[in-house]
Amino acid sequence: MKYSFPLLLAGLTLAALSGCKPHEDHSRKGEGHAHQAPHGGTLLELGDHAGNLELLRDTKNGTLSVYLLDGHAENFVRIAVGTLDAVAFTGGQKRTLTLKAVANPATGETVGNTSLFVGQADWLKSSGELNGEIGALEIRGTKFGPVAFQLK
């Protein structure tokens, strides 16, 4: 039996791919595909699976930490800014918060080249719901924001 090269190539390609799971369709949110926040915070997706922000509120210390992560929330993504701005609505008031870049000598991250930003305010010690938005930011040449959030 004689086979044509294109048909043989198509058959081999199909056989090679048959054991692989196709990448999930991320456009169908909530249908079997979810990422875990590495620090136990709340994940906010940026764009169409371009990245994530993980927000973590510490009511004991009155801090809000924002981690910049890749599209699968597995790797940190550094950006070259010193601060991020946030606006929060709590207790019927609009409050502003500056999140400062945090250096990490263990990873080589520095202020101006980091994936972690932290802000502190006494009003963050409240354990009530916190709604707001993180101001505009740029990651790998793409601009996002403002990014709305809701923390319980």
Question: pLDDT category, 13, cuts 50, 70, 90?
Answer: very low
24-38 residue pLDDT tens:
434 444 444 567 888
More confident residue, 93 or 35: 93
What's this model's pTM, rounded to 2 decimal places?
Answer: 0.76
Q: Which amino acid is it at 94?
A: K
Check: CB of residue 116 under 8 Å from CB of residue 132: no
95-139 residue pLDDT tens:
999 999 999 998 899 999 999 999 999 999 988 889 999 999 998
> Exposed e or buried b for every residue in 95-106, given b needs 16+ CB within 10 A?
eebebebbeeee
Residue 121 sits at the vertex; the CA angle it makes with 124 and 151, to the nearest 5 degrees, is 25
Residue 45 has pLDDT above 70, yes or no: yes
Of 128, 127, 134, the C-alpha closest to 87 is 134
Check: CB of residue 112 under 8 Å from CB of residue 123: no
pLDDT score, position 143: 94
48 CB neighbour count, 10 Å cutoff: 8
- Section 35-64 average pLDDT: 91
Residue 18, φ and ψ in degrees, nearest 5:
-65, -25
pLDDT score, position 18: 34
Check: CB of residue 102 under 8 Å from CB of residue 31: no
The mean pLDDT of the chain is 81
pLDDT score, position 90: 85
pLDDT score, position 38: 81
Of 12, 105, 121, the C-alpha closest to 64 is 121
Q: Which domains does the chain have, with CATH numbers?
A: 38-151 (2.60.40)
Residue 76 sits at the vertex; the CA angle it makes with 22 and 116, to the nearest 5 degrees, is 145
